[in-house]
Structure 1
Amino acid sequence: MAEASGYDLLLKGGRVMCPASGIDGVRDVAVKGGKVAAVEEAILPSAAREVIDVTGKLVLPGLIDTHGHVYQYVTGRFGLDPDMVGVRSGVTTVVDQGGPSCMTLPGFRKFIAEPAKTNVLCFLSAYLVGGLEGHFYPNLYSPDGVDIEATTRSALANKDIVRGIKGHAEIGGFARWGIKVMEMAAEISRRADLPLYVHFGQLWGLPESGKNGEDADTILERVIPLLKEGDVLAHPFTRHPGGFVNAKGELHHVLQAAIDRGLKVDVGHGSHFSYRLAKMALAAGVVPHTLGADMHGYNTQVPENPAPAGTPEEHHDDENHPFKGQARFSLTQAMSSMMTLGLPLDYVVKMVTTHPAKMLGMEDSLGSLAVGRAADVSVLNDVRGRFVLRDNEDHRVLAERLLQPAFCLRNGERFDADSPILPQAIAA
């Protein structure tokens, strides 16, 4: 047994990839007091109370999911259990995108962020109602449902967990109210000095009167001038109208200039992912900066997850909603998709570690295995073979490499990857 001055835990023999530290090779990682205590080529097993052999596995800084929906119960069927999406899926930090608002943030803090074992952050909704089931109640998302002053105050007073603002630039909203709501969201973002994360692609559907003269293919070009450096364009690979690819099948010409002036792109996998469109965008040079899984209760099959008591009967029908997608997926599955599309592993690791840490303005605490940092570590199985991956168009691709979570450490505490929503590998 190690002496009192020894390490609490030793991860031995894994391939450590830490872009922030410039490490990529077989290393041992020692943990003491919930912090990274050493990263060295060889550490004696006798120096630690517990040793875990991770030979053949990837040892990464704790994965950061930039797009989650974890305001359970309050956001209806959208909200998943934060630890099911987080530590039980090998992910140590989850960013809820637009679940809480200035009105509901206190509840999010007390009942979601504080009890969770996962590090839970959020991008505050520009709307007073937050991320309720907007496809059922789109009128809640009008300009009258935005309070610039109140939302700015809330964001500034809660920057420990509020790391950005969430807005929606989609045809259903534009057809009803034009660009007004997006202008208001951009103003909140500027006043709070936080990044604005913008949803592109149809979300709430069209009003009965039609498109009211709006053209989904003009949305991107009209919204981008509102945005500032560090703001985030989401869902680049969506098949829905209003995304990065227009109705003619062409990539919008304004995208490269937007990226050149400092706007970022987040995959936002979920119900807005098409291999067909991803190949087109990547071929044109649009490479996403960060990777969010975008799991929620409508695109993720949660075992034994009936509609909560009191849910209106029309909300029980899971077959006729606009967000239906894969029954199961995860952040690591999304990483596998990116590699299948041709992005190298070292870049994909940056998409879930150093890049989101910078997006969140938290490079000093997240995304690194530097000695002295909180011991947030994700350990993945790197499985080789032939596997079938599919997207929301049911297009299937063959992958020769599949990343699957084994376990993670959050502040040095171990959590096995036992989430019931983790996808099962399908051999080709």
Structure 2
Amino acid sequence: MSQVLLEGGRVIDPAQQIDATLDVLVEDGVIAATGPDLAAGAPRAERIDCTGKLVLPGLIDTHGHVFQYVTGRFGLNPDQCGVQSGVTTIVDQGGSSCITIPAFRHFLVERSATRVLAYLSAYLVGGLEGHYYPDLYRPDCVSVDATVKSARANSDLVKGIKAHAEIGGFARWGLDVMKLAAQIGREAELPLYIHFGQLWPKPEAGALPVRPDSIFNQVVETLKPGDILAHPFSRHPGGFVEENGRLHPLVHEAVARGLKIDVGHGSHFSFKTARIVLDAGVVPDTLGADMHGYNTHVPAPAGTPDSHPDEEHSFLGRTQFSLVSAMTSMLALGLPLNHVVAMVTSNAARLAGMADRIGSLQVGRAADVSVLDDQRGRWVLEDNEGTQVITDRMLSPRFCLRDGVRHDAISPTLPLARAA
């Protein structure tokens, strides 16, 4: 029997309402016990001192782009974004489709140390090159029947459907794609995840006129309780914040109707927008990093585009981020630590429909555990608008256990902290 004892860390498990200095004992890849002073009962365990660190249920990234190679430069390596960044589960948002989900299973899910799940694209082609070729994303490139069939046949992996509500798309074909995506979600009985943003190329002369502030309410009308509105903190028009700088008047109604909110951090995260949304009393449920090959320093596969035509996708030199650094940003905005932890553990597990398996350190579950450094000092956080925020708290991943196996936080994509 193999044993690992994580000693003396601050254990936070929102699913069990635990926040205390405790030990966590892992036996043969399973959580065996949590409590104070467990060393006496496990004399042969490998002991790891976690004093001063956060010991959390394995982190769940609700917004990844990790269909490596198949989606071109867009898709990152799942283990670099996952276990090598302190994250035990990652949900790929729209990389795979009804056509490519077999490859997703074979080449990623079955070969990664990270648990990889999928929100299946509503489009037949999935997220090729980050929607680099917008003509592939018109209504006749959606098959409701095929996507529903694929989702049902791969229910162990497919936990939702991914769609886009973007100005470029609205200018070309209005609400048609959104209606089809909503139909897929209803028939498959899965949540629909809506990306708000400005799909390039931007509307051209002669395109249908689109008022950005009209998009939110049109989309919400198509949705059902449990569907997810993404990117509340995006600086793009057409989302949570109107062009006048105020919260869209239907956001509170959407929440009351049972819609969920996910912070897909991404390169278009804005501290200014976040402040508007939070000050209006809207608190997101979950948090995803939204890293991909155009906003992260990684070598590009040969033959892929040098840059993305959507300047908001491109890495502008200001930000490098991860799921844990996104947690630091949430703390800097004033969200309580326990809520931030819930965003990436228990709430994210519910979003994936797997609250009975992941997102908690409950005894008897697979030992998915994330251990983070929790430092005090002064650091500069900066978004791609150039807005700087000073924080006195910095979280960074140290290591994680995935099914009890240790993985150190060595990903080359992890950001470096900038001292104030």
Please state which band the TM-score falls in when normalised by the shorter chain: over 0.9
User: How much has 1:211 moved relative to structure 2?
Assistant: 4.3
Q: How many residue pairs end up in the alignment?
A: 417
Alpha-carbon RMSD across the aligned residues, in angstroms, is 1.3
In structure 1, what residue type is equivalent to 2:213? Answer: D
Contact 1:171–1:205 (8 Å) recurs in 2: no
Q: What is the CA deviation profile of residues 75-131 of structure 1, one whole-angstrom value per residue up to 9, with x for unaligned ones?
A: 111100000000000000000000000001100110011100000001000000000
In structure 2, what residue type is equivalent to 1:202? Answer: Q
Contact 2:268–2:312 (8 Å) recurs in 1: no
Q: 1:18-417 to 2 correspondence within 5 Å?
A: 18-44=13-39, 46-302=42-298, 305=299, 307-311=300-304, 315-317=305-307, 321-325=311-315, 326-417=318-409
Could you say if the C-alpha distance between residues 327 and 300 of structure 1 is closer, same or farther in structure 2, counting changes exceeding 3 Å? Answer: farther
Contact 1:203–1:322 (8 Å) recurs in 2: no
User: How much has 1:143 moved relative to structure 2?
Assistant: 0.3
User: How much has 1:272 moved relative to structure 2?
Assistant: 2.5
Stretches of structure 1 that go unaligned for 5 or more consecutive residues are: none
User: How much has 1:246 moved relative to structure 2?
Assistant: 1.1
Mean CA deviation greater in 13-22 or 81-90:
13-22
Q: What is the CA deviation profile of residues 34-88 of structure 1, one whole-angstrom value per residue up to 9, with x for unaligned ones?
A: 1000101111255333110111100000000000000011111110000000000
Q: What is the CA deviation profile of residues 170-195 of structure 1, one whole-angstrom value per residue up to 9, with x for unaligned ones?
A: 00101001000000000000000000
- CA distance in structure 2 between the partners assigned to 1:145 and 1:213 by the alignment: 23
In structure 2, what residue type is equivalent to 1:190? Answer: R
Contact 1:135–1:205 (8 Å) recurs in 2: no
Could you say if the C-alpha distance between residues 142 and 320 of structure 1 is closer, same or farther in structure 2, counting changes exceeding 3 Å? Answer: closer
In structure 2, what residue type is equivalent to 1:379? Answer: V
Contact 2:5–2:39 (8 Å) recurs in 1: no
Q: What is the CA deviation profile of residues 300-340 of structure 1, one whole-angstrom value per residue up to 9, with x for unaligned ones?
A: 112xx0x32333xxx11369744124542111100000010
Contact 1:134–1:141 (8 Å) recurs in 2: no
- CA distance in structure 2 between the partners assigned to 1:50 and 1:414 by the alignment: 11
- CA distance in structure 2 between the partners assigned to 1:260 and 1:398 by the alignment: 33
Contact 2:328–2:394 (8 Å) recurs in 1: yes
Instruction: Name the SS for the 2:16 alignment partner.
Output: coil
In structure 1, what residue type is equivalent to 2:67? Answer: Y
- CA distance in structure 2 between the partners assigned to 1:248 and 1:255 by the alignment: 15
Contact 1:301–1:327 (8 Å) recurs in 2: no
- CA distance in structure 2 between the partners assigned to 1:341 and 1:64 by the alignment: 21
- CA distance in structure 1 between the partners assigned to 2:276 and 2:207 by the alignment: 27
Scaled by the length of structure 1, the TM-score of the pair is 0.95
In structure 2, what residue type is equivalent to 1:419? Answer: S
User: How much has 1:135 moved relative to structure 2?
Assistant: 4.6
In structure 2, what residue type is equivalent to 1:132? Answer: L
Contact 1:291–1:352 (8 Å) recurs in 2: yes
Mean CA deviation greater in 171-180 or 242-251:
242-251
Contact 1:175–1:210 (8 Å) recurs in 2: no
Q: What is the CA deviation profile of residues 148-189 of structure 1, one whole-angstrom value per residue up to 9, with x for unaligned ones?
A: 000000001101010000000000101001000000000000
Stretches of structure 2 that go unaligned for 5 or more consecutive residues are: none
Identity %: 60
Could you say if the C-alpha distance between residues 283 and 147 of structure 1 is closer, same or farther in structure 2, counting changes exceeding 3 Å? Answer: same
- CA distance in structure 2 between the partners assigned to 1:394 and 1:319 by the alignment: 20
In structure 2, what residue type is equivalent to 1:153? Answer: K
Contact 1:171–1:242 (8 Å) recurs in 2: yes
Q: What is the CA deviation profile of residues 400-424 of structure 1, one whole-angstrom value per residue up to 9, with x for unaligned ones?
A: 0010000000000000000011111
Contact 2:295–2:314 (8 Å) recurs in 1: yes
In structure 1, what residue type is equivalent to 2:406? Answer: R
- CA distance in structure 2 between the partners assigned to 1:320 and 1:65 by the alignment: 24
Instruction: Name the SS for the 1:133 alignment partner.
Output: helix
Scaled by the length of structure 2, the TM-score of the pair is 0.97
- CA distance in structure 2 between the partners assigned to 1:164 and 1:85 by the alignment: 20
User: How much has 1:133 moved relative to structure 2?
Assistant: 2.5
- CA distance in structure 1 between the partners assigned to 2:45 and 2:9 by the alignment: 18
Instruction: Name the SS for the 1:257 alignment partner.
Output: helix
Contact 2:3–2:28 (8 Å) recurs in 1: yes
